[in-house]
Structure 1
Amino acid sequence: MSSASASSLVRRPFEGIPAERDLVAMRQLIPAATIEAATTAEHGSVRVIIATILPMAWPAIRRSDGSVIIGLQATVPTDDLSRSFGQALSQALEAEPGTPVRTVSPSADSPRLQDLLDLEGGFPITVHESFEFWVDPGAERTAEVEASLAQANESIMPTAPVEGLEHAYWVDAGAKEHLRWVLDAEEERVYDAVARLHARRESAIAEGTRYVGSFRAEGLTVPVWDLPDGFGAAGVAEHAAEFRARFLTALESTEPLTALERRARGGIVARQVTLR
């Protein structure tokens, strides 16, 4: 079992899981998505679907076929999200098929997701346009279920991954379109990279786009760009290769910031938002 205690604040709760950056995006950014996983052989090699959110914001459900689905946007104790969802998964594995896990209370003995999941898996992510994944294949699709599903689907903001820019997601928020890119680099290095580009007027993805700030989520840094109406995920993808190369070159630079870059960095830091 991993060593983080149940009472200590874990800055990067999903660290060590290959899909860490996508898990953070699912917890904070994406309305509807799933990741395929499985428990280790020691824990039965049970199919696990990691989802953004479940009906009633339940933490987990044991499905009729014995698989488990977890909802990362559930309200759970947040000192260590991995332990909280590990507890939810443990409870689901012990539940009768068709039973939801309604609450979790992790303890020092609760396993973390890193203890339960087979970390050798590919953890493929799928972004959905609906909550159709809520429906248990073995359950009856009643009129009530269909109505609930339709109501939930109306709340989804269009969201899509960007081809050529891993762990980056385009979203149509109504008034604006955004690109949000989940990075595992240190926050200070991200600020430096944006400052280097901003000083050269190269922090935009393409003409008409604009870097607007970044925030922290589950220990990772998420820079955000505003996009013109109609730009879409395809518009970002068109410039992804060049932009990614430019950004990563700036991120990897160890040269001291110039005076102009330091001034740019001061403005960037002043408008950051931190999520806890």
Structure 2
Amino acid sequence: MREIVPSAVGTVRTTAEHGAVDVTIVSLLPDLMPAVRREDGQVLVALQTVGTSGDASRDVADALLRALELEPGDALTTNDLPEPGPRLQDVLDPAVPFEPEVRDEFDFWLAPGEHAHEVEAALENANELIVPTRPVAVPEELGKAFWCRMNGKEFLRWVVAAAEEETLDALARLAARRTAALEDGARLIGAFRTCGVLVPVWELVRGTEADELAEPVAALAERLGTALRTTDPLTSDERRARAGLVSRQVNLR
């Protein structure tokens, strides 16, 4: 939600120390606002904002705690440099599962029946520019995967739930064996590095829809899982494949 998914929402709850309040975590708010309390009283905290401390967890926790003090209809418009304090994992109740929902629009910016001219104008513009994104099922231990369509092309972005170096090694093992592709014509083109994880990206066959990926992604997940569990030193071919993957990485923040 911080880097890959344009529009998504999920509910969390603060610890008893912080009021045991339900808060909606969202991908993005208008003008990159850190947080807002809608007219209906619901607090929304965004992940796609401009960080200031260098610690995203501390930045989001600070915005969340300040948002709890807002009046309905008010917003945090800037991310000030927070003083030392709790991080997100110190503020949220881990017993409440976080299950974000990918959306097609930014309709969550306004409560049902709420009208705000400036927000409505930004909402219309944002909805027109949104990158169509759909979740694709992968084993929970392997992270989350998303189909998206950009500039007339389709891609699979896979947020692998493993350390960057482990994921690179696993992808190198697959690439050296020519088993890193999803299917004929769908190829691994590189990876994003963000938030301590690697997000490999496959360019799909033109016109591929999200619901067509179940079988090829399941097969790739099996190969990737096996590669992640392999601890043998990389062969010379695998090291070359790894170097090629490294050269095609893009850092997001």
Paired residue for 2:17, among 32, 42, 64? 42
Partner of 2:214: 237
Paired residue for 1:149, among 123, 135, 143? 123
**Take 1:247 and 1:61, find their aligned partners in 2: how far apart are those partners?**
40
Q: Indicate conservation of the 8 Å contact 1:59/1:76, yes or no.
A: no
Partner of 1:101: 76
Kindly provide the CA deviation profile for residues 78-137 of structure 1, in whole angstroms up to 9, marking residues without a partner as x.
511111111111111112122101113243333221121111111011110111111124
Name structure 1 gaps, 5 residues minimum.
Answer: 1-25
Q: How far has the Cα of 1:143 moved from its partner?
A: 5.8
Q: Does 1:183 align with 2:157?
A: no
Name structure 2 gaps, 5 residues minimum.
Answer: none
Q: How far has the Cα of 1:193 moved from its partner?
A: 1.1
Q: Does 1:255 align with 2:232?
A: yes
Kindly provide the CA deviation profile for residues 27-86 of structure 1, in whole angstroms up to 9, marking residues without a partner as x.
111111111111112212211111111122210012334331011112131511111111
Aligned length: 250
**Take 2:29 and 2:120, find their aligned partners in 1: how far apart are those partners?**
15
Partner of 2:135: 161
Q: How far has the Cα of 1:212 moved from its partner?
A: 0.9
TM-score for both structures, normalised by structure 1: 0.84
**Take 1:255 and 1:244, find their aligned partners in 2: how far apart are those partners?**
20
- Aligned-pair identity in percent equals 48
| 1:183-222 equivalences in 2 (<5 Å) | 183-222=160-199
Q: Indicate conservation of the 8 Å contact 1:46/1:67, yes or no.
A: no
The farther-off stretch of 266-275 and 144-153 is 144-153
The change in CA–CA distance for 1:145 and 1:186 in structure 2 (over 3 A counts) is: closer
Higher relative contact order (CA 8 A, sep 6+): 1
Q: How far has the Cα of 1:260 moved from its partner?
A: 2.2
Q: How far has the Cα of 1:246 moved from its partner?
A: 0.6
TM-score for both structures, normalised by structure 2: 0.91
Q: Indicate conservation of the 8 Å contact 1:63/1:99, yes or no.
A: yes
The change in CA–CA distance for 1:215 and 1:133 in structure 2 (over 3 A counts) is: same
Partner of 1:130: 105
Q: Indicate conservation of the 8 Å contact 2:50/2:79, yes or no.
A: no
Kindly provide the CA deviation profile for residues 235-270 of structure 1, in whole angstroms up to 9, marking residues without a partner as x.
222222221011110111011222222222222222
Q: Indicate conservation of the 8 Å contact 1:27/1:72, yes or no.
A: yes
AA at the equivalent of 1:264: A
Paired residue for 1:264, among 238, 241, 247? 241
The farther-off stretch of 202-211 and 182-191 is 182-191
**Take 1:29 and 1:218, find their aligned partners in 2: how far apart are those partners?**
11
**Take 2:243 and 2:84, find their aligned partners in 1: how far apart are those partners?**
44
Q: Does 1:86 align with 2:61?
A: yes
Secondary structure, in 3 states, of the residue corresponding to 2:11? strand
Secondary structure, in 3 states, of the residue corresponding to 1:222? strand
The farther-off stretch of 101-110 and 69-78 is 101-110
The change in CA–CA distance for 1:79 and 1:148 in structure 2 (over 3 A counts) is: closer
The farther-off stretch of 254-263 and 115-124 is 254-263
Q: Does 1:54 align with 2:1?
A: no
